[in-house]
């Protein structure tokens, strides 16, 4: 949770929580950065309370057969262990501008994609601290597309520590809730969207950017936003944002069933990402267990713990590790999250009009340049027949999926054609086939592109000259542009990593498949390094990685006028899917700029 200079009174929100869904907000176009960046907002955060003895939460009276599951807190703790390890590997922090944050994003993203979520990285192209990584948005592609409920937490830590309670606890709880939803796969009455926010510790910047990127129509479709920030404080209490509001009622009902007697989260008012949504008129609530404020005698009598001691004695410190987690509070929180989600978005009844979706065959194997065919069939499973629009996602570069016809009346079928090109890289690709009517259903088709035994000479990277926007590069895509103060090797655009003169890390990544059958793969890029450092000491570094393997490291000591062409042999990766990453890291003073252009990965 971020420390703010002002307090915001709790507002009781009496808006009826209805339903209305929303597609993931479009990513704003990257804008040129100013080097060096503006000064970051200073931070010092606070939250609220915690429980006493471990309790497996009972089901709340009044729920239906769609009762929420008991989320396994041991799995939540396993996510916290991994987040702690990520921080350890990255200097003890997961701050938004560091590699620890980006590794955290990758960990969460991989879990969600494997579970079937539609996942989007949203670069924060304005308002965030320099070098901040992206927001991560995940939507479960089931339920009425006119309704959406959103659950969020910030994924970054302060620079001083790994941030396992603040806010690994909220992030891990949401991740395991999302995975449990995918595993249970219940019938959905509404869409559920999850957000993991960047740069909260610098002023709620990631969530501010996300809400600001939504049109007024999109914002109006979000019926409630639920925030979870520090939900495992060791001396904490049980606090709910806007505890008496309509939005809070499912959360309060669950904790009331445990006789926890939750209180208003006054300490956290205006200090976490729910405030960004609240300012846009969206009903909000959420759980918290407390930060630096001190537990009162009355709270200690009610919840246990130590009076006159901070709810989280390790708040914003290096001791905020896995040893700083109240497992009882974490368990009660994650089960309350699941209960709220099930209560709002899961239905126990069959939709009035529903259909099934299937592909036959469910797999196909082709040589590059050939096409696979199949049949997408539908059936009316309840109510009346309806029009079903067909679409596909997950196809790699060079692969197209078409349907004839593109929409069918449930009970009908469509011919599916999956076409490749001679340049399509060999590999196995799971494609998601989606049917959208009054409800949405998906099924999976697995495409295998066989190796040809030979090798087609080709350039594998897309937009290596950075002239066509930022796609498909990921990471700090705000580094891409026609920035004043540097020039391109060719064309007008380039990627400018570093150049701030402060402790910052910038990364750019792209994933490609290096075709089997090739004898050689060569990475070539043009790099200009300029620096204000005068010592022959490597204070600021530039690394080229494939996956977690560093192929080369350059530094301020390699500075020179103009661009230098550099080449690396990637032949060892033939036949593999790889992620190529450029990373620039600066120390606390004296800028070094690493300017990249005209990147190619050539097979032969």
Quote the CA–CA distance of 582 and 505 in Å, as a whole number: 10
User: Could you give the maximum distance between any two Cα atoms of the chain, in Å?
Assistant: 76
Nearest residue to 237 via CA among 50, 47, 46, 48: 50
Q: To which H or E segment does residue 222 belong?
A: strand 222-228
**What's the CA angle centered on 123, arms 122 and 125, to 5 degrees?**
130
DSSP letter string, 271-300: SSTHHHHHHTT--EEEEE--SSSBPPHHHH
Q: Which residues, in sequence order, are CB contacts of 534 under 8 Å at separation 6+?
A: none
Residue 383 CA, distance from chain mean position: 37
In three-state form (DSSP H/G/I as H, E/B as E, the rest C), the secondary structure along 576-598 is: CEEEEEEEEEECCCCCEEEEEEE
CA separation for the pair 315, 268 (Å, rounded): 13
Residues 312 and 165: beta-carbon distance below 8 Å: yes
In terms of Cβ atoms closer than 10 Å to its own Cβ (0-12, 13-18, 19+), residue 74 is exposed
Which candidate, 515, 495, 471, 510, places its Cα nearest to that of 603? 515
Using only C-alpha atoms, the chain has a radius of gyration, in whole angstroms, of 25
Contacts of 107 (CB under 8 A, 6+ apart): 79, 82, 83, 86
Backbone angles phi, psi at 373, to 5 degrees: -125, 155
Q: Is 200 a catalytic residue?
A: yes
Q: What angle do CA 391, 392, 396 make, to 5 degrees?
A: 150
Count other C-beta atoms under 10 Å from residue 560's C-beta.
11
According to DSSP, the residues that pair with 495 across neighbouring strands are: 480, 596
* DSSP string across 347-387: -SS--SSEEEEEEESSEEEE-TT-EEEEEEEEEEEESS--E
Q: How many residues does the chain have?
A: 604
Say which of 200, 263, 533, 586 is annotated catalytic. Answer: 200
Q: Which residue is it, tokens 């205006």?
A: 270
- Cis before 210? omega within 30: no
Residues identified as active-site? 200
């Amino acid at each position: 949770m971020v420390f703010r200079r002002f307090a915001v009174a709790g507002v009781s929100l009496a808006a009826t929580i209805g339903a209305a869904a929303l597609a993931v907000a479009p990513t704003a176009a990257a804008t040129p950065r100013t080097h060096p960046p503006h000064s970051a907002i200073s931070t010092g955060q606070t939250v609220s309370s915690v429980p006493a003895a471990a309790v497996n939460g009972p089901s709340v009276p009044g729920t239906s057969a769609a009762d929420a599951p008991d989320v396994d807190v041991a799995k939540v703790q396993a996510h916290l262990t991994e987040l702690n390890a990520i921080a350890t590997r990255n200097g003890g922090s997961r701050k938004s501008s560091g590699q620890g944050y980006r590794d955290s994003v990758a960990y969460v993203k991989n879990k969600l994609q494997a579970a079937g979520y539609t996942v989007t990285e949203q670069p924060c192209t304005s308002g965030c601290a320099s070098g901040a990584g992206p927001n991560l948005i995940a939507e479960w592609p089931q339920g009425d597309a006119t309704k959406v409920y959103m659950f969020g937490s910030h994924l970054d830590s302060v620079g001083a520590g790994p941030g396992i309670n603040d806010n690994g606890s909220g992030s891990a709880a949401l991740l395991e809730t999302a995975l449990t939803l995918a595993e249970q796969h219940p019938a959905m009455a509404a869409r559920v969207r999850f957000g993991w926010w960047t740069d909260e510790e610098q002023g709620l910047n990631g969530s501010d950017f996300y809400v600001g990127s939504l049109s007024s129509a999109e914002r109006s479709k979000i019926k409630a936003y639920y925030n979870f920030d520090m939900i495992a404080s060791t001396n904490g209490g049980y606090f709910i944002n806007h505890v008496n509001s309509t939005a809070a009622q499912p959360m309060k009902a669950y904790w009331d069933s445990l006789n926890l007697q939750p209180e208003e989260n006054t300490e956290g008012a205006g200090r976490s990402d729910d405030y960004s949504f609240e300012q846009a008129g969206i009903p909000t609530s959420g759980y918290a267990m407390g930060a630096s404020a001190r537990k009162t005698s009355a709270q200690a009598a009610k919840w246990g713990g130590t009076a006159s001691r901070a709810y989280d004695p390790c708040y914003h410190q290096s001791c905020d590790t896995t040893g700083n987690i109240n497992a009882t509070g974490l368990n009660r929180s994650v089960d309350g999250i699941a209960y709220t989600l099930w209560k709002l978005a899961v239905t126990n009844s069959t939709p009035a009009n529903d259909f099934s979706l299937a592909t036959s065959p469910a797999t196909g194997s082709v040589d590059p340049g050939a096409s696979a065919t199949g049949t997408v069939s539908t059936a009316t499973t309840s109510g009346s027949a309806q029009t079903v629009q067909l679409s596909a996602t997950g196809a790699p570069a060079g692969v197209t999926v078409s349907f004839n016809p593109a929409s069918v009346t449930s009970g009908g079928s469509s011919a599916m054609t999956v076409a490749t090109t001679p340049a399509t890289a060999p590999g196995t690709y799971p494609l998601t086939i989606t049917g959208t009517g009054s409800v949405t259903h998906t099924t999976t088709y697995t495409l295998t592109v066989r190796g040809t035994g030979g090798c087609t000479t080709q350039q594998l990277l897309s937009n290596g000259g950075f002239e066509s926007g930022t796609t498909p590069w990921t990471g700090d895509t705000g580094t891409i542009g026609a920035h004043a103060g540097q020039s391109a090797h060719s064309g007008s655009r380039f990627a400018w990593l570093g150049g701030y003169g402060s402790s910052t890390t910038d990364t750019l990544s792209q994933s490609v498949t290096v075709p089997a059958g090739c004898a050689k793969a060569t990475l070539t890029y043009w790099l200009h390094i300029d620096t204000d450092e005068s010592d022959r000491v490597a204070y600021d570094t530039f690394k080229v990685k494939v996956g977690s393997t560093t192929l080369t490291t350059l530094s301020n000591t390699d500075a020179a006028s103009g661009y230098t062409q550099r080449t690396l042999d990637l032949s060892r990766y033939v036949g593999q899917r790889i992620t190529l990453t450029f990373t620039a890291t600066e120390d606390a003073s004296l800028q070094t700029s690493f300017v990249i252009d005209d990147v190619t990965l050539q097979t032969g």
